[in-house]
Amino acid sequence: MAVEGPGTDAHDVPHPAFEVYATESVPQAAVGSPGKDGVLELTFAAGGDGTTLVRDYATAPFHVSGTLDHDPHPDGSTVFVQSPAGSVAQGDRHDIDITVGSDAVAHVSTQSATKVHSMTHNYAGVDGRLTVEKGGHLDYVPEPTIVHPKARYCQDLTVEMCADATAILADVVVPGRLARGERFAFERYFSRVQVQGPDGLLFADTAHIAPEKSAPTAPGVVGEFSVYGTLFIVAPDTDTDPGTLSDRLHEVVADREARAGATELPNAAGVMIRALGERSEVVTDALHAAWDCARRDLVGAPAPERRKY
């Protein structure tokens, strides 16, 4: 539902709880002003020399310095999205649009963790649209998101998968600056992933945490753990058997320090891995191991190294 009014923008608000926040004016730069309304557009295409970034457009706080020969896949192309702002603030609205053309192989990540600052007004929102065309492959694996006390953060990711396309999507959430004793002190966190195939919706996954209204540390939620992460291996129209891949990925993550497991996605869309840990590095380590295993199966190449410097 689109909400507009004082201090709001034309972004869709995916959850009613954020409609109230959207009506609050921001005391500093208004919603939609330069530096608050960030846009990132990337288009990759396959060619004789492998995958090329054929179009990029970025407005603050996004910055793109071109591609890297970072991918172990011989035709792969890598983009690390940079942010000179260093954090996400109240009233920020970010639009991300990534297209991977037919038979192209792309890896998109961020330079460092995304820090969501404390808020007194409005909220911060990210609207992402990923498209993977026939035979293409996308690894969308950002660094973790650190949600500071009193933050209100909403991200909505829609993925369009064409025939024979594959994708690996990651999301790791750190509920505060753990070294400072912060843990689930934010006001609200909402994340939704929807994946569409050629014949319609394949699956949707939603995480909605409001610590003041619920108990995220209760048994059956995250319990004694703090950091949680999710990895989606999306391969709906390939020869990959989800059951076999799920069993193999479960073995890969079972011996890690994180508490993790794998399960098949609905509609034979692929496999999902969930991981819980006390620190972000143990969760990202488990997800990277699963990413590496799945990528070898999907595109015949290992996952890129986690080190970015």
Q: Which residues pair with 172 in a beta bridge?
A: 229
pLDDT band at 308 (very low <50, low <70, confident <90, very high): low
CA distance 159 to 13: 18
- Give the separation between CA 288 and CA 283, rounded to whole angstroms: 9
The pLDDT, as a whole number, for residue 14 is 72
Give me the helices (H) in the chain, please. 17-22, 242-254, 280-299
pTM here is: 0.92
**Cα distance between residue 33 and residue 91, in whole Å:** 9
Phi, psi of 90 (to 5 degrees): -60, 140
Confidence of residue 31 (pLDDT cuts 50, 70, 90): confident
- 80, β-bridge pairs: 109
Mean pLDDT value across residues 261-289: 96
Q: Which helix (H) or strand (E) segment is 196 a member of?
A: strand 188-197
Measure the CA dihedral 281/189/274/100, to 10°: -90
* Residue-level pLDDT at 292: 98
Q: What is the pLDDT of residues 92-142, one digit of tens each?
A: 999 999 999 999 999 999 999 999 999 999 999 999 999 999 999 999 999
Contact status, residue 131 vs residue 167, Cβ threshold 8 Å: no
Spatial contact of 244 and 270, defined as CB atoms under 8 Å apart: no
Are β-strands 188-197 and 152-161 bridged in parallel, bridged antiparallel, or unpaired? Answer: parallel
Tokens of 246: 């799920």
Mean pLDDT over 5-32 rounds to 74
Q: Which residues contact 239 (CB under 8 A, 6 or more apart)?
A: none
- CB-based burial, 252-279: b 16+ in 10 Å, e otherwise: bbeebebbbebebbeebbbbbbbbbbeb
Q: Rounded to an integer, what distance in angstroms lies between the CA atom of residue 46 and that of residue 38? A: 27
Is 33's pLDDT higher than 50? yes
* Mean pLDDT for all residues in the chain: 91
Average pLDDT over residues 54-77: 94
